[in-house]
Amino acid sequence: MKGLSKWILSLLAVLLALAYLSPLYIMIVNSFKNRAEMTLHVLAFPTTWSFQYFAQAIQKMDILTAYKNSFMITVASILCLVVLTSMTAWMLVRTPGKLSSAIFFLFVATMIIPFQSVMMPLMQVMGFITRNMRITMLNTKPGLVYTYIGFGASMGVFLFHGFIKSVPVSLEEAAKLDGCSVFGTFWRIVFPLLKPTTVTVIILDIIWIWNDFLLPSLMLSSLKQYTIPLSTYSFFGQFTIQWNLAMAGLIMTILPVIVFYLFAQKYIIKGVAAGAVK
């Protein structure tokens, strides 16, 4: 009886995996079809396997520029997030009190606020900064990076905060007795110990920022500033949609993240367990 139950659970897991991966299958097979063949047989294999639609998608998306923009924005955002959130979490843990607790819970509370509820206020704030402070925030990479730092800080602080609690204070006290400054204590003693959580924050933020469409669509209007997800929008016109080119473009959009995730996935569970449970 136990063997039968195990077999049923395994079969159910396989069926769920196939259902979960079915959109990826549809996207791959239809990226090699013309529009007529795609309309007639959505689930069937293409009659001929040709990369011509990938070539057309690359040209129409200006994919090299889009990759460059996405890479610059993602790397800059993650560097700032890792540095700022790790230092913030360390200070909150090492200065216990009501104020530190209130600041931490404020960070945690912002994690449950839907982005859609702050879209319009965000645009008003960006416009206010541009008009009154003469700092261009819209349609610029620095402005988008600044916004990503704000929206990604809560999760980073939450993960680092949980892990830093497990770091012995005696290590920092010993460094202080040896004449190490506060800044040096963090970067030479504490930060190297945060590797599991740091890798987790990097992985989760890369997946989020690289694939994000909504925030760049609000802040970027110039084609030369478009990220990879925004560049795929060129296939969706007002009266027609080039589905085969869109499928090819979407594959090239998610491929770098899939490859990166396959190599780094083992760190996610380890880092989340170390940071959120301790």
- pLDDT (0 to 100) of residue 70: 93
Alpha-carbon dihedral of residues 231, 233, 235, 240, nearest 10 degrees? -160
Q: Is the dihedral of CA 46, 47, 51, 52 positive or negative?
A: negative
- pLDDT (0 to 100) of residue 3: 67
All structural domains of the chain: 58-276 (1.10.3720.10)
For 241, list phi and psi in degrees, rounded to 5. -130, 125
Task: Give the model confidence (pLDDT) of 84-105 as tens digits.
Answer: 999 999 999 988 888 988 999 9
Q: Which residues lie closer than 8 Å to 99 by C-beta, 6 or more apart? A: none
- pLDDT (0 to 100) of residue 274: 55
Low-confidence ranges of the chain (pLDDT < 70): 1-4, 237-240, 267-278
Q: Which residues pair with 241 in a beta bridge?
A: 236
Q: Which residues lie closer than 8 Å to 73 by C-beta, 6 or more apart? A: 141, 144, 145, 148, 209, 227
- pLDDT (0 to 100) of residue 91: 92
As to burial, measured by CB atoms within 10 angstroms (0-12 exposed, 13-18 middle, 19+ buried), residue 11 is exposed
- pLDDT (0 to 100) of residue 81: 95
- The DSSP code sequence of 43-68 is SSPPSS---HHHHHHHHHHTHHHHHH
- pLDDT (0 to 100) of residue 49: 83
- pLDDT (0 to 100) of residue 239: 61
Spatial distance between the Cα atoms of 88 and 229, rounded to a whole number of angstroms = 31
